[in-house]
Amino acid sequence: MVRYGLIGRKLGHSFSKDHFTKVFAKAGLKDHRYDLFELGGIGELPALLQKYPDLHGLNVTIPYKEAVIPLLDGLDPLAAAVGAVNTIKIANGRCTGYNTDVAGFKALAEPIIGSLSDAGSSIKARALVLGSGGASRAVAYVLRELGVRFRIVSRSRERGDLTWDMIDPTIIRLCRLIVNTTPVGMHPQVDEAPPLPYAALSSKHTLVDLVYNPPETKFLMHGLEHGARTIGGMGMLLKQAEEAWHIWREDK
């Protein structure tokens, strides 16, 4: 058996098993399977690897993308620069960490950045990144690469530039791109949305939610109500999964 899987704390929301099972079937890979492994703590990873010696790769999700790093044997340079791992390749007894959220978010962000500034204006677009975890690090990396100034919103002063109580309508008006990298609004808490002064949104805003289940979150619905462009997390999910599969298939 050639086994792959996903590690995270709660995986009821995950589409990965279904996605990769279809990828394997399409490629005629009958001996491949993809499993969901809920870990109570990242310290359970070594026992999991021992229990399943046929594991060839893992995806990593909330809340272990940063915590997994000290347990790995090596890091791809991009994952090291981002400071978060969402894909692990297991080969020759070694676990190497990669980050494919960067490629996923870049595919989503690159085409929209130009349209965030007013035509002819020299004022560059600004962004607000909600949350400071693993996915936030990938988003921040891409925004830096694209030359977009941004602030991180966190529940703690230590991890972010702003705390939630500091977000007023002026900040919202200034930041035309708002990216939710928190799990707020994710299944089953579908009635929740990040606490923002949504009334300050306009048709000049773009709201991106990395949450993909449900496809239209409460956060995005608030955006639509105020004429903003909205983008859900499914496109990014598919792109980062495609990149992970590419890494696992590479012969190195």
Ligand X SMILES: NC(=O)c1ccc[n+]([C@@H]2O[C@H](COP(=O)([O-])OP(=O)(O)OC[C@H]3O[C@@H](n4cnc5c(N)ncnc54)[C@H](OP(=O)(O)O)[C@@H]3O)[C@@H](O)[C@H]2O)c1
Q: How many CB atoms lie within 10 A of CB 180?
A: 28
- Is the Cβ of residue 96 or residue 132 nearer to ligand X in the bound state? 132
Return the residues of window 88-107 that contact ligand X according to CB under 6 A.
101, 104
> Does 156 engage in binding with ligand X (CB under 6 A)?
yes
Among 59, 87, 132, 206, binds ligand X (CB under 6 A): 132
What are the structure tokens assigned to 81, written together? Answer: 């620069």
Query: Is 65 one of the catalytic residues?
Result: yes
Residue 129 binds to ligand X (criterion: CB under 6 A) = no
Identity of the residue numbered 229? R
Q: For residue 52, with 0-12 CB atoms within 10 Å meaning exposed, 13-18 middle and 19 or more buried, which class applies?
A: middle
For residue 131, state whether it binds ligand X (rule: CB under 6 A): yes
Using the 8-state DSSP alphabet, how is residue 114 labeled?
Answer: G
- 17 scored as a contact of ligand X (CB under 6 A): no
Q: Which of the ranges 75-83, 133-141, 166-174, 222-230 carries the binding residues for ligand X, by CB under 6 A?
A: 133-141
140 forms part of the interface with ligand X (CB under 6 A)? no
Tell me how far apart the terminal alpha carbons of the chain are, to the nearest angstrom: 20
**Interface residue with ligand X, options 16, 59, 87, 240 (CB under 6 A):** 240
* Distant-in-sequence, close-in-space partners of 51: CB < 8 Å, separation ≥ 6: none
Stretch that binds ligand X, among 47-55, 114-122, 134-142, 221-229 (CB under 6 A): 134-142
Tokens 């996605």 sit on residue: 19
Using an 8 Å Cβ cutoff, are 144 and 126 in contact? no
CA angle 94, 98, 101 (to 5 degrees): 155
Binding mask 45-84 toward ligand X (x if CB under 6 A, else -) reads ----------------xxx-x-------------------
Q: Which of 10, 17, 22, 65 is catalytic?
A: 65
User: Phi/psi of residue 9, each to 5°?
Assistant: -80, -50
Residues at the interface with ligand X (CB under 6 A): 61-63, 65, 101, 104, 131-136, 154-156, 159-160, 181-184, 186, 210-212, 233, 236-237, 240
Which residues have a catalytic role annotated?
A: 65
